[in-house]
């Protein structure tokens, strides 16, 4: 039997997960990306994601939003990008391994 996503069947492996197993992230259109991703493509994606987080941080400075719980939470998440990557304003680079061993980035 196959899954129709409205009533999972006992052998369902919908999106590669067994019944009752929570997904860690929202699934995209194709969960099997490793078959066509290269190291360069992953690097490009990381740099683009860095740029999006940086744009959010910049927008916070530009628009001076109301500082509510959502704002504080979002800005804490945006700041955690520095645990994974750094930037000199022109280029991004990975953080050295000894600097990564701090608190969890969750």
Of the pLDDT bands very low, low, confident and very high (cuts 50, 70, 90), residue 37 is confident
pLDDT(28) > 80: no
**CA 58, chain centre distance (Å):** 19
Domain span holding position 60 = 33-100
Of the pLDDT bands very low, low, confident and very high (cuts 50, 70, 90), residue 9 is very low
Q: Structural domain tally of the chain?
A: 1
The C-alpha angle 25, 47, 61, rounded to 5 degrees, equals 90
The arithmetic mean of pLDDT across residues 46-63, rounded, is 94
Residue 14 to residues 25, 68, 95: CA-CA distances in angstroms? Answer: 14, 37, 36
Residue 12 lies in a domain: no
Residue 22 lies in a domain: no
Residue 49 lies in a domain: yes
Map tokens 């980035």 to a residue: 105
């Amino acid at each position: 039997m196959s899954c129709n996503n409205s009533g999972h069947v006992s052998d369902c492996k919908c999106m590669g997960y067994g019944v009752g197993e929570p997904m860690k992230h929202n699934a995209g259109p194709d969960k099997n990306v490793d078959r066509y991703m290269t190291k360069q493509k992953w690097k490009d994606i990381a740099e683009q994601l860095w740029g999006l987080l940086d744009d959010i941080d910049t927008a916070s400075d530009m628009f001076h939003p109301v500082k509510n719980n959502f704002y504080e939470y979002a800005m804490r998440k945006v700041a955690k990008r520095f645990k994974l990557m750094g930037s000199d304003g022109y280029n991004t680079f990975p953080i050295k391994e000894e600097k990564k061993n701090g608190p969890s980035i969750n």
